[in-house]
Chain A
Amino acid sequence: MTVATRENESRTDLLNLYREMLLIRRFEERCNALFLQGKIPSTLHLYIGQEAVAVGVCAALRPDDYVLGTHRPHGHALAKGVTPHSIMAELYGKVTGCCKAKGGSMHVGDMSVGMFPAIAIVGANAPIATGAALSAKMRGSGQVVVAFFGEGGSNEGAVHEAMNMAAIWRLPVLFVCENNLYGASTPVNQIVAVENVADRAVAYGMPGVIVEGNDVVAVREATRTAVERARAGEGPTLIECKTYRLCGHSRSDACNYRTREEEAEWRDKEPLTWLARVLIEERQLATPSDLERIEAEVEAVMLEAIAFAEESPEPKPEDALLHVFWEDK
């Protein structure tokens, strides 16, 4: 495994990135366990292995920028600043959840921190992101919008319409394709005829960038460049992050469509191990005990989030009738 040598990032910066990725990792592991214990009624698509993408992208954004996630949105939401408490409560189906128990795992979001309710129709978030970017441009707000989707989602017509519109109008939107090699069970080489999803960018008239998706710093760099371009009015970018889902697609997936050898290869270069090596071995900016301290801090947050979710009240059955239409507060 090759690790890109990082020279400019400070210890604090890298440790922060590490902490954010670890938060997602531990959150997802907890979710999995709680699901198996029957405490979380929601279905789950976990983000384990892809943490560097959400964290790297969101680290290059302003708080008022927008992110649109997918059916696998916990990582996007946490990285954009939705609290672990409110996401956990949502997964528990409690009224304190970020969507008041109306959304569940696949729709977590919180517009007050720029995270749209996640959109679980594959590819459908791309045109909505484009609309948010049009709005940002019309309002002159300087905001940038990110649409995440998988290599599977990249084949949806909605994504193509969105990329074309974003390009013709030079909108401040980033299309971030998380290529984790499988869409559910289907391998990428069966569904994409070009070598890279990013190769398609040229067809829309926007830059296509390929990034080592498990290297959080590389993801952040690529995003920063695209964000600068977007804020300067130069239009959208398609960023393809090569990554790997280290867990099953959704609950009860034994991953029999891929090999244990392939998984082991990717495990060796998964985002946390990657960054830990940079921090400890390459740049000697941190010691294992620094990482253990972060581990303990994250563990404390997890326990609080779970306690919050468990202690929160359930919705009344008839609350199902609320919020079909907007209700003025």
Chain B
Amino acid sequence: MPVMTIAEALREGIREEMRRDPTVFCLGEDIGIPGGFGGAFTVTLGLSDEFGHDRILDTPISEIGIAGVAIGAAMTGMRPIADVQYGDFLFCMMDQLANQAAKMTYMSGGTVKVPLVMRAPVGSTRRGSQHAQSLEAFFTHIPGLKVLAPSTAYDAKGLLKSAIRDENPVLIFEHKLLYGSKGGRSEKGALTAVGEVPDGDYVVPIGKGIVRRAGKDVTIVGKLLTVYRALGAADELAQEGIEAEVIDPRTLIPLDKEIILESVRKTGRLVVVEEDNITHGWGAEIAAMVAEEAFFYLDAPIKRVAAPDTPPPFAPPMEEFYVPSVARVVAAVKSLF
């Protein structure tokens, strides 16, 4: 089976879907310019050679326009995949996402659908505060959007395909340190999140989490980069006799609550790890959900490991302090025993 990076797996997913369905097309900034980058992280590199510049559509730097155009096209028979150069720019198009894409089916009494996909890179990567935020949680608070967060190449391709075939607006968050982009677009400090990706068609269903490592003593829930931080922590903890179960929900909306609850019912302990600011965050939601639905299985308080309530800082020592580390996850787990 071929081994791929997440960027390659996404590219293959887009390629196969564009071959399969002529209504699928990509739009975004710098995604297909000859001699360009194939998107900021090479995901669309080379696709315009096969599909031309009408279907790999380079846009002006107009985020409201990109979102609005994707919505209008989706409502009239197309299946756009919008490339957001950096997730932070989603804030520029917030109205189109929160008021338009998310509400159109509802406001129309279910008579209109908006099958669009929007891909957005997140994560702190030495670019300072405005190209760094992990802002998935904002969008999990907006009814009408599906929110995906693939952390492996296999899931990236499979979830992307599910997203393209879904009849709703779907946001896919991708972590810059997991892409495995090569050449000039490679990232310092990146993990090699390569994995086996089957050739050809398969999907990963939206709304299904996965147990990345089985364990009986504590449940660690992470997403994107923090799945890997959780796995690193689990390795260290195992040496001290603590068997951690690591869960990657893969889809944030709709959330596979059961996979988390089932694990917590077994382990009695929960740590949630995320790269976003801690207050009012995704971790708080997972903690509240578990407190409501599995309180009597808990043997210890729920712990959140997250970024502090600051914008992402630039200098490497501060950035390392900001992003949850393996050591912080280990410490959080140990505090429960």
Do A and B originate from a single complex? yes
Chain A residues whose C-beta falls within 8 Å of the C-beta of B76 in the assembled complex: 66, 131-132, 135-136, 139, 143
The answer to whether B108 and A134 have CB atoms under 8 Å apart is no
The answer to whether B59 and A165 have CB atoms under 8 Å apart is yes
Known contacts A100-B109, A131-B68, A326-B113; decide if A164 and B168 are in contact (CB<8 Å): no
- Most chain B beta carbons < 10 A, residue from A131, A132, A139: A131
B175: min CB distance to chain A, Å = 26
The answer to whether B107 and A131 have CB atoms under 8 Å apart is no
A86: min CB distance to chain B, Å = 10
Q: Does B124 contact A (CB under 8 A)?
A: no
The answer to whether A130 and B110 have CB atoms under 8 Å apart is no
Which of A103, A124, A164 sits near B99, CB closer than 8 Å?
Answer: A124
The answer to whether B72 and A124 have CB atoms under 8 Å apart is no
The answer to whether B108 and A127 have CB atoms under 8 Å apart is no
Residues of A in contact with B, size category = 35 or more
Q: Which residue of A lies closest to B110 (CB)?
A: A323
Q: Does B104 contact A (CB under 8 A)?
A: yes
The answer to whether B59 and A117 have CB atoms under 8 Å apart is no
The answer to whether B110 and A158 have CB atoms under 8 Å apart is no
Known contacts A161-B64, A327-B110; decide if A135 and B72 are in contact (CB<8 Å): yes
The answer to whether B105 and A326 have CB atoms under 8 Å apart is yes
B145: min CB distance to chain A, Å = 9
Q: Does A206 contact B (CB under 8 A)?
A: no
The answer to whether B69 and A134 have CB atoms under 8 Å apart is yes
Q: Does A69 contact B (CB under 8 A)?
A: no
Q: Which of A45-53, A105-113, A192-200 contacts B (4 or more CB under 8 A)?
A: A105-113
Q: Does A278 contact B (CB under 8 A)?
A: no
In the bound assembly, the distance between CA atoms of A133 and B65 in angstroms comes to: 13
Chain B residues whose C-beta falls within 8 Å of the C-beta of A143 in the assembled complex: 76
The answer to whether B65 and A130 have CB atoms under 8 Å apart is yes
Which of B55, B67, B80, B144 sits near A127, CB closer than 8 Å?
Answer: B67
Q: Which residue of A lies closest to B62 (CB)?
A: A161
The answer to whether B72 and A107 have CB atoms under 8 Å apart is no
Q: Which residue of A lies closest to B27 (CB)?
A: A134
The B53-106 residues at the A interface (CB cut-off 8 A) are 54-55, 59-60, 62, 64-65, 67-78, 80, 95-96, 99-100, 104-106
Interface string of B138-180 (1 = CB under 8 A from A): 0000011010000000000000000000011000000000000
B78: min CB distance to chain A, Å = 5
Interface size on B, residues (CB 8 A): 43
Chain B residues whose C-beta falls within 8 Å of the C-beta of A121 in the assembled complex: 95, 99-100
Q: Does B25 contact A (CB under 8 A)?
A: yes
A135: min CB distance to chain B, Å = 4
In the bound assembly, the distance between CA atoms of A188 and B62 in angstroms comes to: 26
The answer to whether B65 and A117 have CB atoms under 8 Å apart is no
Chain A residues whose C-beta falls within 8 Å of the C-beta of B100 in the assembled complex: 119, 121, 124, 128
The answer to whether A131 and B74 have CB atoms under 8 Å apart is yes
Chain B residues whose C-beta falls within 8 Å of the C-beta of A134 in the assembled complex: 69, 72-73, 78
The B113-130 residues at the A interface (CB cut-off 8 A) are 113-115
In the bound assembly, the distance between CA atoms of A168 and B53 in angstroms comes to: 14
Chain B residues whose C-beta falls within 8 Å of the C-beta of A325 in the assembled complex: 105, 144, 146, 167-168
The answer to whether A127 and B109 have CB atoms under 8 Å apart is no
The answer to whether B77 and A162 have CB atoms under 8 Å apart is no
Q: Which residue of B lies closest to A325 (CB)?
A: B168
The answer to whether B95 and A158 have CB atoms under 8 Å apart is yes
In the bound assembly, the distance between CA atoms of A102 and B59 in angstroms comes to: 34
Q: Does A129 contact B (CB under 8 A)?
A: yes
The answer to whether B106 and A102 have CB atoms under 8 Å apart is yes
Q: Which residue of B lies closest to A103 (CB)?
A: B107
A7: min CB distance to chain B, Å = 38
Can you list 28 A-B contacts (CB < 8 A)? A99-B109, A100-B109, A101-B109, A111-B75, A117-B108, A126-B68, A127-B96, A128-B68, A130-B65, A132-B76, A135-B72, A136-B76, A139-B23, A139-B77, A158-B64, A158-B65, A158-B68, A161-B65, A161-B68, A162-B64, A164-B62, A165-B62, A165-B65, A168-B60, A324-B143, A325-B146, A325-B167, A326-B113
| Interfacial residues, chain B to chain A (CB-CB below 8 A) | 23, 25, 54-55, 59-60, 62, 64-65, 67-78, 80, 95-96, 99-100, 104-115, 143-144, 146, 167-168
A124-B95, A135-B73 are known; give 19 further A-B pairs, CB within 8 A: A97-B109, A102-B106, A117-B104, A121-B95, A127-B68, A127-B69, A127-B72, A128-B69, A130-B69, A131-B76, A132-B76, A134-B73, A135-B72, A139-B76, A161-B65, A323-B105, A323-B106, A325-B105, A325-B146
Closest 10 CB pairs of A and B: A127-B68, A131-B72, A100-B109, A161-B65, A323-B110, A131-B69, A132-B72, A128-B72, A161-B62, A326-B167
